[in-house]
Chain A
Amino acid sequence: MALVTRVMNIAGLVAILALLPVAESILAVEQEEKPPSTTMPGGQPPSIILGERLQRKPPELVGVGEVAKKNALTFLEWASGAPKQQDGLVRELLAGARENLDISRAFCEEAFRTQTEDDTRALIALALLGEMRSPHTEECLMKFVEQPLPDKGTVVEGEILEQNSLAMLQAKAVDGLAYLRSPRADEFVLKTAAQHPSRIVRAEAIAAYLWNNQYSKEAREMLRRLVRQEEQIFIDRVVKETGEPKESFNRKLQDYLNAHPEVRPPTPDKAPDKPQPSIGPPPGF
């Protein structure tokens, strides 16, 4: 009897469990889709916001010690949001701070500090550091590039994203080193082009070395001696320079395709026709 009672209890529970979703859907009030909303007050139109930004004076890149650090970080935030029309101003201000060791140290520390949590910020810090073109930056940029890549992380389409993230930052650091155009930095860039574990960084080192050496014959030959066999094509890679007229680019592209017919892709494939169901003849009358 006790066993029967227990079985009935269990059966009852199972029945209740099975009916729960049904009950939920019966009780649920069907919600009409509404447009998105917010409780925050509306902002000004972009044209006004942008106009106000352009009126603001840029932060000064001056000072020593903690003052320099504070000013550097304020400048970083301002530069990060700077519109394209202020690129020239950013460069000018950085050139003016070239001799300030504390400013370059602040950018360097910020790059290392934020490389994992906010790699955009680190990218900006490295771009500013590289654009300063200061001998004070050489050590930091080299140290940044020499960081080992993570060998574990989130894998997407065969790539470890954390590895790619650091590689993209190291590529930016390589740009800064090549821009220094110093013998020691150039040697490092060439070594990076040949030996860095990430292709993203090797490719950038090749491009940066060529650009900073005006794509000279000597620069190409130097790279041909060092770069991996399977990456020799990167030395000829087509670069679309900002502001380059289309005639110039298109000519370069044609030269590249003539020199490397192996990169011409095959004819695209059509998807197979979906099979039609076989119906067969009608039955005999």
Chain B
Amino acid sequence: MCRTHKLLSVLFMLGLITILRPSSAYAVCVQTGASTAEQDLWNTHGCWQAYFLWSYKAYDQRQSDWNNRGWNDACNVNLEFPKHWNATYLVTYGLADENCCSWHGTIDYRQLAEAPSSNFHSSLYHTARDDSCCFGSFNPKVSGPDELATHCLLYNPSATNSNPASRAGDFMHEGWHGWLRKYSWNNGSCGGHRCGPLGNCTATGCDYFYFHGVGAYAFGALYQTDGTANRFHSPNQVQVEFLCDVADYPKAWVPASVRQKAKADADARAVARFINGPGYKCGGPRPW
């Protein structure tokens, strides 16, 4: 009886420990909805399976990173993986590439955001993270591809940046940290930015705006620099220019909500993130 009692005690404790020990499953973002802009862009393709079967390879997304974020539910727009490829769809198809007027071309933005090693960065892979420190992060690795993570603030449905343009804008921003690393540029010690507030920048991570004219960079040449401020970009600047191109020179089918959010994000960032700001304002202030 005594031995039985002991055995039962051990089994009970074992059971308790198994239940209470930290789960090996990780947290996920809020998966209960999608913003209007998200849904509007989604409605233009209605879940294009051939596309997401290409996108996950182009962005080197791994099942182990996205498993409980919609990897096997890739048409559920409430989840992170579908939201990710909704944004890559905007990058891949959504820009008009107007020689007269666009800042840069799809050829630039795709190479900047996509995984393969290029003139823009060494190879990288895309993950999702729950940390609310930031919208995204670029995490260089000692060996193997670097990590470009997008965080829950780009996926939670009520978060202001949870829309395809802002998410894609962050691909550009983080991708540009990859460019800075590839070519050994120092953009500052506060997460790859200058520590702020500083000058006209009111945030804690600040950049310079390296003003250039329209047409200064041929499409495909965004990566170029001559080592001077005359031909250079910063992460926030590339992000603003991308968002402006979405707002002002998208393909004709891009929904109004996606364009309006892109413009709002670009304008807000342009007045707050630059030491020598404000950056350009994209488009006039007509309401619609």
Of B112-120, B142-150, B155-163, the one touching chain A: B155-163
Contact, CB under 8 Å: A242 / B284: yes
B211 located at the interface, meaning its Cβ lies under 8 Å from any Cβ of chain A in the complex: yes
Q: Which residues of B contact A91 (CB under 8 A)?
A: 288
Contact, CB under 8 Å: A172 / B287: yes
A279 located at the interface, meaning its Cβ lies under 8 Å from any Cβ of chain B in the complex: no
Contact, CB under 8 Å: B158 / A37: no
Q: Mark B233-271, 1 if CB is under 8 A from A, else 0.
A: 000000000001000111111111101110011011001
Mind listing 18 A-B residue pairs with CB under 8 Å? A12-B10, A80-B40, A81-B255, A83-B254, A84-B250, A124-B256, A124-B260, A131-B288, A154-B153, A156-B133, A159-B272, A167-B268, A168-B267, A171-B264, A176-B287, A249-B214, A265-B209, A271-B184
Q: Mark B73-97, 1 if CB is under 8 A from A, else 0.
A: 1111000010000000000010000
Q: Please report A residues at the B interface, Cβ cutoff 8 Å.
A: 5, 9, 12-13, 16-17, 20, 24, 31, 33-40, 42-46, 49-50, 79-85, 87, 90-91, 94, 116-121, 123-124, 126-131, 154, 156-159, 161-162, 164-165, 167-168, 171-172, 175-176, 178-179, 199-200, 203-204, 207-208, 211-212, 230, 233-234, 237-246, 249-250, 253-254, 256-257, 262-272
Determine how close the nearest CB of chain B comes to the CB of A112; give it in whole angstroms.
15
Q: Please report B residues at the A interface, Cβ cutoff 8 Å.
A: 6, 9-10, 13-14, 17-18, 21, 24, 35-38, 40, 43-49, 52-53, 56, 61-64, 66, 70-76, 81, 93, 100-101, 132-135, 153, 157-161, 163, 184-187, 191, 196-197, 200, 202-205, 208-211, 213-215, 225, 227-229, 232, 244, 248-257, 259-261, 264-265, 267-268, 271-272, 275-278, 280-288
Q: Which residues of A contact B229 (CB under 8 A)?
A: 264-268
**A118 to B163 Cα, complex, angstroms:** 10
Contact, CB under 8 Å: B285 / A40: no
B213 interface neighbour in A85, A154, A159, A246, Cβ under 8 Å: A246
A80 interface neighbour in B10, B66, B255, Cβ under 8 Å: B255
CB-CB nearest in chain A for B51: A46
**A112 to B46 Cα, complex, angstroms:** 30
**A17 to B17 Cα, complex, angstroms:** 8
CB-CB nearest in chain B for A156: B134
**Nearest 9 interchain pairs by C-beta:** A43-B46, A130-B287, A158-B204, A265-B208, A131-B288, A250-B213, A246-B214, A165-B160, A120-B36
Known: A249-B213, A269-B186. A94 touches B288 (CB 8 A): yes
Determine how close the nearest CB of chain B comes to the CB of A270; give it in whole angstroms.
6
Contact, CB under 8 Å: B254 / A84: yes
Contact, CB under 8 Å: B271 / A118: no
Determine how close the nearest CB of chain B comes to the CB of A257; give it in whole angstroms.
6
Q: How many A-B residue pairs have CB under 8 A?
A: 302
**A90 to B101 Cα, complex, angstroms:** 24
B74 interface neighbour in A31, A37, A123, A262, Cβ under 8 Å: A37
CB-CB nearest in chain A for B93: A46
Known: A36-B74, A199-B202, A244-B101. A253 touches B288 (CB 8 A): no
**A123 to B209 Cα, complex, angstroms:** 27
Contact, CB under 8 Å: A38 / B74: yes
Q: Which residues of B contact A157 (CB under 8 A)?
A: 134, 191, 203-205
